[in-house]
Amino acid sequence: MAAIDAPYPGSAAAAAIFRTCRFTGLKVDIAAQRLIMANAVAAVVFLAVGGVMGLLVALTRWPAVHLLPSEWFYLVLTGHGANVLLFWIIFFEIAILYFASAVLLGSRIATPKIAWAAFVLMLVGAVMTNVAVFQGDSSVMFTSYPPMQASPHFYLGLIIFAVGALIGVGIFFGTLVIAHGEHTYEGSIPLVTFGALTAAIIAVFTLASGAIILIPTYLWSLGLITEIDPLMYKVVWWGMGHSSQQINVAAHVSVWYAIGALTIGAKPLSEKVSRSAFLLYILFLQLASAHHLLADPGMSATWKIVNTSYLMYLAVLGSLIHGLTVPGALEAAQRRNGYTKGAFEWLRKAPWGNPAFAGMFLSLVMFGFIGGISGVVLGTEQLNLLMHNTIYVPGHFHGTVVAGTTLAFMAMTYYVLPLIFQRDVIWPKLARWQPYLFGIGAAGISLFMMGAGTLGIPRRHWDITLTDAMHPFDLPSGGFLMMGLNGLSAVIAAAGGILYIVITVGTVLWGKRLDKGDAPLNFPLHKQAATVAEYGSHTTVKLPGTIILVSIFFLSFVLYYFVNWKYLSEIWLLR
């Protein structure tokens, strides 16, 4: 190690060893660094496994290709959901939590031994569930709605994984307490850490809901409980299933802010506004779990409306605020960097060749335009009737969790590699293209699945020709076309995904070591990346580019919203 600080004298922290990052000046606890590496590596492995499964699923749903036989299709689809949505995302999020607490606060990580135990639990759980899926008796989709039943170790694996993740979240809170107690920082935690805190808070509710419902379900699969009420299951399960998507939102918004700071020196326009937007997430985002029960019996319209609207769209307000403050912070920073011509010089001359920046910006735009707008429409009580359980739903969430979260995490990786693994990114020319390739593919699968769903194509469905059905009928041919285009986009997304895996693994194994000598980075940091924060608006008050972008977004949102009401008003009457 190039520069190892003397450990703190005579405290509980004496055992912790730090190094100082020569790019950012951040003090990095070596124990935290190893944990971040382990969690990030596990994340990438599960992304690789789950990503291949995603491609197989998409190729099967491409009518002209129809790759897998039906048993395999449902098996692989179950595996795809679990590996990418749970294992890839949550391992990476644990890495982010450790980074945002220990590294950004310059603190030692709380109880590294227990953090390792958490990691092992998560790994064991994830492998156990995968084994159950591949044995073939657990093709129940990752939602595992009863009374359909999986093997006991399918549920047990998920429970063990959730317990491990919950411990990881506890380590994050512990590290906040230590950093505060040992005064490793002054005043309030950084905005990015606050965003991570938001994610962690939502994670506690998420994982607790998961445990509450999966433990009885596990006992039921063992025959110790006779019945699980399907409606009750769905309510509590989505307390986990949807809230975990809200962890993603909080985490990837933090990543946007972090990458903005690292690549172009962006500062939040105002700490107050950005943090209040995160507060709205903490308070209301989790209510959106009700999105999954809008077409179900039994729940009253009042419960549906209050919850599905995140209590009057207050959490959407939070997202809309970030939708302004993130590009606003980028524009303000670029204007300070000297790109002041016209409304968009700041954007044209942004570091588009830096995959971290490009990935972040694509994630921001696509999360807003594709995932965000479709999410609000889908989550509107009555509009949900039009698309519930059609393939529009996977279309929507590939806009959020693939084009949004996954792309943001990929972008972040281009800094995790040099700063944490201390290896320079290999093949910079290829790396430059990776976010575009994956981004275009992800946008494609999202939009084409949404298109097909609008035409009524069902989700999780092996044969939309309905040939073997007892009462066959024709689904619209436009839907078949869309599913074909979806397959094509999936190939592009998979190419981008494979490139990401190859670059990441290659860098970890063979990247130029950065801890010796003073070699520069392939994708340099902004020179002020780690200076002290000051709110960014007082020097640059005019943000014309951001105002134009946000206005376009708002108009698209309003237009798409009313188009769907028009469509709804034309279907059969129903009350």
Where do contacts with ligand HEM occur on this chain (CB under 6 A)? 51, 54-55, 57-58, 61, 77, 80-81, 84-85, 88-89, 141-142, 391, 394, 398, 401-402, 406, 445, 459-460, 490, 493-494, 497
Q: Hey, which residues between 301 and 340 contact another protein (CB under 8 A)?
A: 301, 303, 305-307, 309, 311-314, 316-317, 320-321, 324-325, 328-329
Q: Which is nearer to another protein, 95 or 104 (CB)?
A: 104
By CB under 8 A, the residues from 433 to 472 that bind another protein are 454-456, 458-464, 466, 468-472
Contacts of 403 (CB under 8 A, 6+ apart): 362, 363, 366, 367, 370, 371, 439, 442, 443, 446
Name the one range near another protein by CB under 8 A: 4-12, 115-123, 125-133, 231-239.
231-239
* Shorter beta-carbon distance to ligand HEM: residue 107 or 254: 254
State in angstroms the smallest separation of the CB of 429 from ligand HEM: 22
Residue 101 burial by Cβ neighbours in a 10 Å radius (0-12, 13-18, 19+): buried
Question: Does 166 sit near another protein (CB under 8 A)?
Answer: no
In 3D space, the residue among 370, 424, 425 whose CA is nearest the CA of residue 392 turns out to be: 370
Q: Dihedral sign, CA of 517, 518, 523, 525?
A: positive
CB of 368 to ligand HEM, least distance (A): 18
Residue 193 tokens read as 């850490």
Give yes or no for residue 224 binding another protein (CB under 8 A): no
Residue whose CB is less far from another protein, 123 or 365: 365
Residue 477 touches which member of ligand HEM, another protein, none, C-beta under 5-8 Å by kind: none
Nearer to ligand HEM, 430 or 488 (CB): 488
**89 touches, from ligand HEM, another protein, none (C-beta below 5 to 8 Å by class):** ligand HEM
The answer to whether the beta carbons of residues 488 and 444 sit under 8 Å apart is yes
Nearest CB to ligand HEM, comparing residues 89 and 425: 89
Q: What is each CA distance from 21 to 99, 296, 530, in whole angstroms?
A: 13, 53, 11
Nearest-approach distance from CB 540 to another protein, in angstroms = 10
Q: Which is nearer to ligand HEM, 69 or 338 (CB)?
A: 69
Q: Which one among 3, 135, 229, 510 touches another protein, defined by CB under 8 A?
A: 229
Residue whose CB is nearest to ligand HEM in the complex, by number? 54
For 30-93, what is the HEC assignment? HHHHHHHHHHHHHHHHHHHHHHHHHHHHHHHHCCCCCCCCHHHHHHHHHHHHHHHHHHHHHHHH
Q: Which is nearer to another protein, 11 or 188 (CB)?
A: 188
Query: CA dihedral defined by 224, 230, 235, 240, rounded to 10 degrees?
Result: 50
* Residue numbers 474-513 binding another protein by CB under 8 A: 474-476
Contact positions with another protein (CB under 8 A) in 60-99 = 70-71, 74
Q: Does 518 bind another protein (CB under 8 A)?
A: no
Residue 493, binding choice from another protein, ligand HEM, none, Cβ under 5 to 8 Å by partner class? ligand HEM
Query: Of another protein, ligand HEM, none, which one sits near residue 520, judging by CB under 5 to 8 A according to partner kind?
Result: none
| β-sheet with 27-29: strand ranges across | 4-5, 18-20, 27-29
Alpha carbon 191 to its chain's center: 18
Distance of CA 243 to the CA centre of its chain: 12
Amino acid (1-letter code) at residue 497: G
490 binds, among ligand HEM, another protein, none (CB under 5 to 8 A by kind): ligand HEM
Would you count residue 286 as binding another protein (CB under 8 A)?
yes
Is residue 217 within 8 Å of 233, Cβ to Cβ? yes
- Residue recorded with tokens 């995904």: 497
Query: Which structure tokens are listed for 345?
Result: 């010089």
For residue 19, list its beta bridge partners.
4, 28
